[in-house]
Amino acid sequence: MASAATDVRAIFDRIAGRYDTANRVMSAGLDVLWRRRAMRLLLDGLDPSPWVLDLGAGTLDGAVEILRQRPSAQVVAADFTRAMLVAGRRKPGAALVALHAADSHRLPYRDGAFLAAFSGFCVRNLRDPALGLAELRRVVRPGGRLVLLEFFRPARPRPFWDGLVTNRLMPLLGWAASGDRAAYRYLPESIRRFDTRGDFEARLRAAGFATVRGQDLFPGGIASLVEAR
């Protein structure tokens, strides 16, 4: 979760124009595959034209992927950093996405507005994750589905991944791709302060999601998917 001293919005404002490049470089393109897998899980078995929320939508990679897999979906993208949404608007297919500059702690949607919601690499940055999850529970209708893609604090020490990849290599690559060293020093710091996947799944149950399951993604469990209903 975000430290009270960290201005997360300012970080994302600064890197909005280079955010996608940094993501591809740091993940060696795996973030695209992770997102595709998340959307298959999100959309499987849903109505043909579901209303879907992409929370913390950033530069709209998630929202565009939802429409690629389900062109008839009604997709709403919400992010508190307007510069990220503006940067994403240029992407093919993004013109079909409704954009809202909104705070995850106070979503401007009615109860049960969405059949499904996705959030990629967002909840770790929330000032109050419990409040953010309560808002997601409120706007996803009973029986609906939530899928989150996130970097969680490892439950057990992983000297190679944590010491070399997460703490050193990823920030270095992010700095090289974006030119913003401070933004990518924040990445490993935010992971160290965040929940393990098990702790986060318990938060989802406490927020009112009855069925919660998670899975680690290749390689080495760097990223994880969590589904809740």
Report the CATH number that the domain containing residue 200 is assigned in CATH.
3.40.50.150
**Which one-letter DSSP state was computed for residue 90?**
T
Q: What is the pTM assigned to this prediction?
A: 0.93
Q: Any idea of the CA torsion for 165, 169, 173, 178, to the nearest 10 degrees?
A: 90
Per the domain annotation, does 65 fall within a domain?
yes
Per the domain annotation, does 41 fall within a domain?
yes
The pLDDT of residue 36: 97
Estimate the crossing angle of helix 129-139 against helix 197-206, to 10 degrees: 50
CA angle 182, 183, 185 (to 5 degrees): 60
The burial class, CB within 10 Å (0-12 / 13-18 / 19+), for 6 is middle
The pLDDT of residue 5: 47
Domain tally, the chain: 1
User: Tokens 């950093």 identify what position?
Assistant: 81
Reduce the DSSP state of residue 143 to 3 states and report it.
strand
Per the domain annotation, does 2 fall within a domain?
no
Tokens standing for residue 158: 């992983």
**Cα–Cα distances in angstroms (integers) from residue 47 to residues 35, 50, 94, 111, 210, in the given order:** 20, 6, 21, 19, 21
Per the domain annotation, does 49 fall within a domain?
yes
Give the structural domain span for 206.
8-228
The pLDDT of residue 30: 92
Per-residue pLDDT of the chain (229 residues; tens, 9 = 90+): 665 546 889 999 999 999 999 889 888 899 999 999 999 999 999 999 999 999 999 999 999 999 999 999 999 999 999 999 999 999 999 999 999 999 999 999 999 999 999 999 999 999 999 999 999 999 999 999 999 999 999 888 777 667 677 777 777 777 887 888 887 888 889 999 999 999 999 999 999 999 999 999 987 678 999 999 9
Per the domain annotation, does 3 fall within a domain?
no
The pLDDT of residue 3: 56
Please tell me whether the peptide bond between 219 and the residue prior to it is cis, using omega within 30 degrees of 0.
yes
Per the domain annotation, does 123 fall within a domain?
yes
CA-CA distance, 197 to 55, in Å (whole number)? Answer: 19
Estimate the crossing angle of helix 181-193 against helix 170-178, to 10 degrees: 150
CA-CA distance, 165 to 2, in Å (whole number)? Answer: 21
Per the domain annotation, does 155 fall within a domain?
yes
